[in-house]
Structure 1
Amino acid sequence: MDIPENVQEQLNQFQQVQQQAQSIAIQKQNLTLQLNESKKALDELSKTDDDAEVYKTAGPLLIKTTKAESEADLKDKIEMYEIRQKTIDKQEKRITSKLEELQSSLQTAMNQMQ
């Protein structure tokens, strides 16, 4: 049985949106890891003395810095990650909605073919 061209186009679109959903899921997972890592680092930093030696990475180098500077950097990173997380959550909702819409449309088309 041949699949009509419009149904084939819908199948292709569904696969593309599925790939986008997978990509977003990977981005979200990576972002969650970075956010948790930064929060843990900030928590550990808060346990150190104000005059403790603190180093940060800059590519392959470790550079001596102050506790206050490191705290500010980590807080900025956490804020940026949280904003990015909200954006990814919105994208995920849109993609999920689009997938559900396409799935329903494909189901209807397949039922009509039978």
Structure 2
Amino acid sequence: MSVAPQLEKEMAAFQNLQKDFSKVIQSRAQLESQLKENEMVAKEFELLKEDATVYKLIGPVLVKQDKPEATVNVKKRIEFISAEIKRLEGQIKDLNQKQEAKKEEVIKLQQTYQQQMAA
């Protein structure tokens, strides 16, 4: 029985895992950036007086917003982004394990294939 088709199939699966892993890493980096941005906004809010005027950008328009409401919105956004990052970290760990397992499978198949070719 030839190992070549199975080897090709496993290599394709491994490459798909690598693509998925890369996408998740990219998403996590984007979320990290959003988290830092929102944390900076939260710190800026702490520096404002209670009666300060806050504006929220909605499309091309700045809309006046109460400081307490804006503060709560930013805190909720930080919580949501943090939860998403945690979820993605779980995915990263899972994909990493799957990649390692698939990599070992591919190596074994390559060795078997090389042995068949030498025989």
TM-score, scaled relative to structure 2: 0.91
Structure 1 residue ranges (4+ consecutive) displaced by more than 4 angstroms after TM superposition: none
Q: Deviations over 1:3-55 (max 9, x none)?
A: 71011000000111100001001100000000110011000111011111111
Q: Does the Cα contact within 8 Å between 2:35 and 2:82 map onto a contact in 1?
A: yes
What is the percent sequence identity of the aligned residues? 25
Q: How many residues are matched?
A: 113
- Structure 1 residues 27-106: aligned runs within 5 Å: 27-106=27-106
Pick 1 or 2: higher relative contact order, CA cutoff 8 A, min separation 6. Answer: 2
Flag structure 2 segments of 5+ consecutive residues without an equivalent: 115-119
Distance in 1 between residues matched to 2:50 and 2:24, nearest whole Å: 39
Q: CA RMSD in A?
A: 1.2
Instruction: Decide which structure has the larger Cα Rg and report it.
Output: 2
Aligned to 2:108: 108
Flag structure 1 segments of 5+ consecutive residues without an equivalent: none
